[in-house]
Copies of this chain bind each other. A is one copy, B any other.
Amino acid sequence: MTSTSKADIQRLIVQAIETVKQKNPMVGSITNSVTINFVANAQIAVGGSAAMVYMPDEGELLANVSGAVYINAGTLFPIYEQTLPRTARVLHEIGKPWVLDPVAVGIGELRTDLLRQFKDYKPSVIRGNPSEIIALAGLWGLNGGTEKSKARGVDSTDSVMSAKVAAISLANWTGGAVAVSGRTDLVTDGSILALSYGGSHLMNKITGAGCSLGGVVAVYASVTSPFIAALAGTAVYNLASGRAEHQVRGPGSFQNAFLDELYNAAAVDIANNPFDIGNV
């Protein structure tokens, strides 16, 4: 634990959040149809501007004009066979930050083929639950990837820690950051490892908590480093969901209270949301 580094990180989080609110960066997404509305509203709530496409040439264009791009492999359409690799290739070639959410990695031919190709295009941030992070490392032949995930929809500190090796090896491969979502969230750039606390059990009672976090991390990635973007996004999610939980009777009202809190969260409160850091 290095207290100086923690203060540095907090300063960079404040800076990223305030820059987004000032600049209103446009961040494109190619994301699943289940939670696409929630992703857009979350990106707008934190200060970004959202744009979603499906066509290959529009994906390439988005890569060129966006501050960053979010690719979520949730509900694949046939056209994604062209759209996703072409978009990711442009992102990699021009060095534009992008966030990958490898939803349901391991299921289906097209999904497996697409996620394998992304190894070469090195996403700046990879966000997933422990089993997705472990499975992606396995698909890419990286360390930590052979370890089997224990459960579907895993949600404990233990299982997040079980993805630690995979997360580190993915971050080392991409040169970016990896965020593993669970009760306690893990964020690493391959050398620093952060644990972020807070959140709400109701985040597991709505669809799109993870997807929209990926979209918000992409917004921050347009103005700061992958590691700070991933940690800032994780922190604002833990802060806003914890605040929202106390105002609601169930998951329906929770989703709106959460968006309200995302919108109202002050940069300094986000930076002060509890977290620990250490070396890998």
Interface on A for B, CB 8 Å cutoff? 24, 26, 32-38, 40-41, 44-45, 49-55, 57-58, 61, 74-79, 104, 107-111, 152-153, 205-208, 248-253, 255-264
Contact = CB atoms under 8 A, between A and B. Distances in A.
Contacts of A253: 256-257, 259-260
23 contacts: A26-B152, A34-B36, A35-B37, A35-B40, A37-B38, A41-B206, A41-B207, A41-B251, A41-B252, A44-B207, A52-B75, A54-B75, A55-B108, A57-B110, A58-B76, A58-B108, A61-B108, A77-B77, A205-B263, A250-B260, A250-B264, A251-B259, A252-B256
B250 A57 contact: no
A201 to B, nearest CB: 12
Scoring A50, A57, A76, A249 by chain B CB atoms within 10 A of each residue's CB, the highest score goes to A249
In the A-B complex, the 8 residue pairs with the smallest Cβ-Cβ separation, listed nearest first, are: A252-B259, A250-B260, A252-B256, A250-B263, A40-B207, A58-B108, A252-B260, A249-B260
B44 A205 contact: yes
Contact of A58 (B40, B54, B111, B255): B111
